[in-house]
Amino acid sequence: MSDDTAMRALAKRFFDCVEAGDIDGLVACYAPDAEIWHNTDRQIQGPEDNRKTLAGMVVRIVDRVYADRRVEVFPSGFVQQHVLQGVRKHDNVRVELPACIVCAVRDGKITRLDEYFDSAGVAEFRKFA
């Protein structure tokens, strides 16, 4: 398997896990000391804190789909642009979150993930959190 193919497979597996609500599978894509940074609060999480954040999101937002996935790979990672779509469980409203995710990868694991979310979309996703 080429490096390009392996990097694309990691990106697909990572985001497919969120769609499926498989938080353990997603966390398994991280290196143990991975850093997850968010543009909306400029905070860095580790994999276990990120697990809690995403576990809460998959309970609140159902029927998740990463639409319009555009993945570009480079030797040390990948970038994905997408629109995360879902239905807010509390009020059955369809929500969308345009995003760009930049991942650094070493030895087949994500070592750093930088999330760039549309802040208006984040507010709708978190409305009843």
CA separation for the pair 110, 4 (Å, rounded): 15
Q: What pTM does this model have? A: 0.91
CATH number at residue 73: 3.10.450.50
Per-residue pLDDT of 78-94, as tens digits, reads 999 999 999 999 999 99
C-alpha 40: how far from chain center = 14
Q: How many domains does the chain have?
A: 1
Which domain, by its residues, includes 21?
Answer: 3-125
Q: Which residues of the chain have pLDDT under 50?
A: 1
